[in-house]
Structure 1
Amino acid sequence: MSYPTEDRRLRPTRIALACLCAALAWPAAAQSQADELADLSIEELATIQVTSVSKKPERLQDAPASVFVITADDIRRAGARSLPEALRLAPNLQVAQRSSYGYAISARGMNGSSNSAPNKLLVMIDGRSVYAPLFSGVFWDMQDLMLEDVERIEVISGPGGTMWGVNAVNGVINISTKAAGATRGGMAVLRGATDGVDAAFRQGGQSGDIDWRVYGKALRRRHSEAEDGARVNDAWRQAQAGFRADWARGEETFSINGNVFRGAPEQPEPGEISVSGTQLRLGEIDTEGANLTARWERALNDGGRLSVQAYLDHARRDVPPTFTESLQIADVQFQHTLPAFGRHSLVWGANLRHSWDDVENSEAIAFLPAREEQTWASLFAQDEIALRSDLSLTLGARIERNDYTGNEFLPTARLSWRLAPRHALWTALSRTVRAPTRLDADAFIPGRPPYLLRGGPRVRSEVARVFEVGYRGQPLAGLSFSSTVFHNEYDHLRTQEIDPTYTYLIFDSLMEGRATGIEMWGSYQVTPMWRLSAGFTALHERLRLKPGSNDAAGPGTAGKDPEHALQLRSHYAFDDPRELDVGLRKVAALENPAVPGYWALDARFGWRVAPGVEVSVVGENLNGGHAEYGAAGMRAEIDRRVGVKLTWSL
């Protein structure tokens, strides 16, 4: 083929019942654990510092946005092995696993649009954006860390375009690793489970005034099985290494970190695909990447702050027999936080990103032109105005330019009212967009005559106008609670149209819709040794075609989102070295493609057998396997998994 040269229902097992009984029946008398739990006390939750809402430190209690913080201790107690598994702890996210390494993750719906994976969620690791410009989504098998080095994950559900730019439509995930000075000494992690093994090490130290650490990890996952027991070709192996260094000189701080990885996941689809009558064999995917991020900050004498961050990112993904992409990104960001003057607190900045994208086309799919360079440039400002001592108004806007649609305007207005020291209300109006990508505009699939699908020159930016009202506070002693009601109005959503001559398909932007929902979560300290937490989301999403569209399947993409989800978690400390965590998740059924709703029961028992040595036993889906995402016959059954983890710290 030549191309133009132009450019199940809940059935608790005996193990699960034993875990639940132990959590409820063990006497809560060991007060020595109270000091350790105090690090995450209900009272201190309100004073946690977050930075993702306004790009400057502020108390979680004061942040006028729907924010959930996953701490390092949360990740440890959950027994998570990967970033997607850790993200399951955020009740304001939808996390659906479709293979041993593949996930569909989003917030507030849109967990997969027409002929595409989720593409409206911005994900950052230490300030480096990891969404793929090819389709505005995330290849989760290419994003990994040593989770023991993660300090926190801030999850914002809702628009973040003013502070973070296009594609921060339904949410922002900001993953921050620990400062090198907090990881001195050595650590080794060994883990074995019924579906695979992994190992990691870390060594940190100090050389002069420079704190540093290095790490390495390797993993191997066995293949999954479908509901009928058939093998799903999704085995996976990967190796990764990296470093971080931090130092300070006077009022200046410096940080640099880098990572390199190589992976080989298998393709879970059937072994062959047919293109224009030709049978093409699916092979093993080959992934590799390397990135380097540097950051400089200076505290100014007048109370302001300057910061500059730059990163280089290389990624290569070979997916035989469809395509191979080699992507390089260079990004630089500047930010100036001004000292407070009068009632105003202003922050402004600029961002410039350039990419070099090279795709090796095949008989199955092509991106035309095969080589493409793109530039994104933006300027933003946000002012927090203290109207009264208990009332503040935040006004902000970003102008961002991209090569497909030109300038995009991303404004927001947020009002925060402190009702009482432990109670706050907030509301917000925002406009944000998802800019077109190469998949929208440059994708071609061969067929007769001569293409089955041609790129979409008329594709526009997908627009979301969002209204939010939220509450965050401590209604009772020992109880924290957060709730947000939201309404999204979408326009120019992507569709797949039949051209007027009925000879090929083309991408367009002829769908609109709305989504209304609620998300809430809370935590209750029952005793100094026992904490309960819960989260719930509900979503009503409807999409409709605009005049001129013939994409009958488009509105059905709303069926990729569950109408509700519930999670309950219990953390119990028997005594200083022993603890038990039990989690229960319920997710409603999906309509398109049909996936039954499911319950999942998880548990972890951890025991610090000696200073610096911890052994934990983790069980997931203890009540039995289930499917979470994808069409029957092609998706993996997420089965029961039991594993043991050994952590040795020096």
Structure 2
Amino acid sequence: MKKRPPYHRAICVAGLLAAASAGALAQQQPADLTDLSLEQLSSIEVTSIGKRVQRLSDVAGSVYVIQQEDIRRSGAVTLPEILRLAPNLQVARADANQYAISARGFNSVLANKMLVLIDGRTVYSPLFSGVFWEAQDLVVEDIERIEVLSGAGGTLYGSNAVNGVINIITRSAADTTGTLLKAGGGNQERSAAVRYGNGGATTGQPWRIYAKQYATDDTQLESGGSSHDSGRRKQAGFRTDRVRERDQLTLQGDIYEGQFDQLPAPRQVSGANLLGRWSREEGTGVRTQLQAYFDRAGRNQPGAVDDTMDTWDVELQQSRRPAEGHELLWGTGYRLYNDNANNIAPSVLAFQPPERKLQLWNLFAQDDFVVAPGMRITLGLKAEHNTYTGLEWLPTGRIAWQLSAQHLLWASASRAVRTPSRIDRDVVVPAVNLGASDFQSEVAQVYELGLRGQPRSDLSYSLTLFRHRFEDLRSVDVLPGGIAFGNSFEGHLTGIETWGSWRLAPQLRLQAGYTWQRLQLGPIGSSTTLPTSAAQLGNDARNRGQVGLGWDLAHNMELDVQARYVGALPDPQVPAYSAVDLHWGWRIRPDLELSFLVRNLNDPQHVEWGAAGNRAEIPRSFQLKAVWRL
């Protein structure tokens, strides 16, 4: 009997559910919808492309927006699982707690070309130029939206925004008044949260406080043994906002700790942050914003390093209209990293020197102006200076042409860099004779062509073609005295990403996305690198696709199905897989909602990441959740 492709069951399950829902709709009266119509979706406001409010339909960039309603109807309780909703991201679960998340290639648990921000605070770690996802958490009901920009964002966001930016924006304290109680549990995960918000009726200053915890059980190895990767995390925080005439003030902070099992001993994370932001809107169209934050992140990796990273950051930016049709944005910023790496086992791995102060300052300007009716051009430049490589120049140019009221054609060209991390420059591994290096910045030239439109009131789409040219990529070079990180690889990435939404009926909405990409890398000239050197850059599927179906069964009941397919990973090899997630929600009362989530409905378990023989299988799981709003 001919073996069916791995995605066959996913397509069958999704098809059966779609057929069943279509039949039921013929007998059902239209329901009152709680999610956005496509007309409202076309007017979604985003800030990630221009650091100013723009309608998504007018943006000259590849941006996917995950709304709060999308998050609620997905049933997801962690940030990485929410990010699976974005078709322009590759999200792979490595074990119970660790994820590999990136856009447009170079994916890894230590992926280093995506910048991630939470309310303007970067959670990127200069320890390795990436994000420790198991340390990031929020009350998901407090997220307003997540803007996922794929493509270079260096002019506005600086180094390390090479392949994209994930911008997580939480709701104002004024929008989260009252009490929220949440509890959920299942065969793999358990979570609970409480949040109280005061509308500030007497003080004029709304505020909220919250506390939450999350725990996950061990997964299993392919061999059948335990992965020893269970984890728990606790977090609490607050936010207060005040609006006084033209001024807006925000103060927020979080504190957290977590422990994650591994052999021979658990790793631990802890941290705290405090952010303040002031902005003023002038009647002349001038907007000024000043933001500052402090972030402490601790990570104890047994047998390697006990690291504490303190980050101090201040940024000033201003937008104005110097002339008719012009939107000028400029800004400057300074950041100080104070890293203390306690080398627990220097004979195995060590940072030399153990303590390092890294400074980063920048100055940028960007002008958006009309050149002809329906046509706008954006030109920008950032000068950024870092401790390791000095001054880096990050330019961008974008053009947007409104073909009609329903269609926007855009193109862009940008230069982005990934500056060295402490691992690139300061790490020493005596066991393999890996020494410190003079690693330089990785460079990307990014070119994009996109088309976005809404040809009908019930149909919208986005299509982007992209080509990235990479220079000075990280390699493991063979030197006379041993090996060291170098810049001996180059390559290019070509691809297409597309997604769309179709309102099939008043109660039924279909969303779909697909990404194809081809990454080709090779050594520069006659460089001598380790045979496995290219594998450390990342591991990416050439094809990814997903389909989502949202069905309002009644005015207080809903069913959502998400089916995704991820192609095979080349090195290390990971088979292609498919997964179907099902979420059922029931609003028993306006203040009480029950939901049931099943992940991997079509498959008992599958692997998403890692080398054969020592990788975790992601099991089928279910979770029952209750949310009570008082």
TM-score (normalised: structure 2):
0.96
Q: Distance in 2 between matches of 1:560 and 1:443?
A: 23
Deviates more, 1:468-477 or 1:486-495: 468-477
Matched, 1:440 2:436: no
Q: Distance in 2 between matches of 1:340 and 1:602?
A: 50
Matches within 5 A, 1:149-228: 149-207=142-200, 208-228=203-223
Query: What CA deviation, in whole Å up to 9, does each residue of 1:108-151 have, x standing for no partner?
Result: 11113xxx721000000000000111001100011100001000
Structure 2 residue aligned with 1:487: 467
Q: Distance in 1 between matches of 2:10 and 2:447?
A: 40
Paired AA for residue 47 in structure 1: S
Q: Distance in 1 between matches of 2:239 and 2:282?
A: 25
Go from structure 1 to structure 2 and tell me whether the alpha carbon gap of 1:403 and 1:197 turns closer, same or farther (over 3 Å shift): same
Q: Distance in 1 between matches of 2:337 and 2:461?
A: 42
Structure 1 residue aligned with 2:556: 577
Query: What CA deviation, in whole Å up to 9, does each residue of 1:59-118 have, x standing for no partner?
Result: 111110000000000001011110000000000000010011100100011113xxx721
Go from structure 1 to structure 2 and tell me whether the alpha carbon gap of 1:509 and 1:559 turns closer, same or farther (over 3 Å shift): closer
Structure 2 residue aligned with 1:345: 327
Q: Distance in 2 between matches of 1:147 and 1:36?
A: 18
Query: What CA deviation, in whole Å up to 9, does each residue of 1:265-324 have, x standing for no partner?
Result: 112xxx4xxxxxxxxxx2111110000111000011311100001000001100101111
Q: Distance in 2 between matches of 1:14 and 1:556?
A: 35
Matched, 1:288 2:288: no
Q: Of residues 38, 57, 60 in structure 1, which corresponds to 2:56? A: 60
Query: What CA deviation, in whole Å up to 9, does each residue of 1:502-555 have, x standing for no partner?
Result: xx2111001000000000000000111100000000001100001223232233
Structure 1 residue aligned with 2:3: none
Q: Tell me the SS of whatever aligns to 1:163.
A: helix
Task: Tell me the matched-pair count.
Answer: 619
Structure 2 residue aligned with 1:278: none
**8 Å CA contact retained: 1:31, 1:529:** no
Q: Tell me the SS of whatever aligns to 1:210.
A: coil
Q: Of residues 310, 324, 330 in structure 2, which corresponds to 1:328? A: 310
Structure 2 residue aligned with 1:316: 298
Matched, 1:454 2:439: no
Query: Deviation at 1:32?
Result: 6.1
Query: What CA deviation, in whole Å up to 9, does each residue of 1:432-453 have, x standing for no partner?
Result: 0000010000000123xxx621
Structure 2 residue aligned with 1:537: 515
- Can you give the 5+ residue segments of structure 1 that lack an aligned partner in the other structure? 1-7, 272-281
Q: Tell me the SS of whatever aligns to 1:141.
A: helix
Structure 2 residue aligned with 1:632: 612
Matched, 1:466 2:464: no
Query: Deviation at 1:419?
Result: 0.4
Structure 2 residue aligned with 1:306: 288
Q: Distance in 2 between matches of 1:372 and 1:227?
A: 40
**8 Å CA contact retained: 1:30, 1:576:** no
Go from structure 1 to structure 2 and tell me whether the alpha carbon gap of 1:318 and 1:175 turns closer, same or farther (over 3 Å shift): same
Query: Deviation at 1:587?
Result: 0.4
Go from structure 1 to structure 2 and tell me whether the alpha carbon gap of 1:28 and 1:59 turns closer, same or farther (over 3 Å shift): farther
Matched, 1:390 2:365: no
Matches within 5 A, 1:90-109: 90-109=86-105
Matches within 5 A, 1:197-276: 197-207=190-200, 208-267=203-262, 271=263
Paired AA for residue 467 in structure 1: Y
Go from structure 1 to structure 2 and tell me whether the alpha carbon gap of 1:527 and 1:354 turns closer, same or farther (over 3 Å shift): same
**8 Å CA contact retained: 1:490, 1:513:** yes
**8 Å CA contact retained: 2:185, 2:191:** yes
Matched, 1:44 2:23: no
**8 Å CA contact retained: 1:542, 1:558:** no
The CA RMSD over aligned residues, in Å, is 1.7
Q: Distance in 2 between matches of 1:486 and 1:313?
A: 35
Paired AA for residue 386 in structure 1: V
Q: Distance in 1 between matches of 2:30 and 2:205?
A: 36
Query: Deviation at 1:389?
Result: 2.4
Q: Of residues 620, 623, 627 in structure 2, which corresponds to 1:643? A: 623
Go from structure 1 to structure 2 and tell me whether the alpha carbon gap of 1:239 and 1:518 turns closer, same or farther (over 3 Å shift): same
**8 Å CA contact retained: 1:557, 1:592:** no
Deviates more, 1:556-565 or 1:75-84: 556-565
Paired AA for residue 551 in structure 2: Y
**8 Å CA contact retained: 2:475, 2:534:** no
Query: Deviation at 1:18?
Result: 7.5
Paired AA for residue 308 in structure 1: L
Matched, 1:402 2:369: no
Query: Deviation at 1:35?
Result: 4.9
Q: Distance in 1 between matches of 2:455 and 2:283?
A: 40
Go from structure 1 to structure 2 and tell me whether the alpha carbon gap of 1:12 and 1:59 turns closer, same or farther (over 3 Å shift): closer
Go from structure 1 to structure 2 and tell me whether the alpha carbon gap of 1:566 and 1:252 turns closer, same or farther (over 3 Å shift): same
Matched, 1:476 2:456: yes
Q: Distance in 2 between matches of 1:420 and 1:395?
A: 23
**8 Å CA contact retained: 1:19, 1:603:** no
Matched, 1:565 2:558: no
**8 Å CA contact retained: 2:114, 2:164:** yes
Query: Deviation at 1:341?
Result: 1.1
Paired AA for residue 380 in structure 2: G
Query: Deviation at 1:558?
Result: 6.7
**8 Å CA contact retained: 2:33, 2:507:** no
Q: Distance in 1 between matches of 2:333 and 2:62?
A: 25
Query: Deviation at 1:610?
Result: 1.5
Q: Distance in 2 between matches of 1:604 and 1:439?
A: 41
**8 Å CA contact retained: 1:238, 1:264:** yes
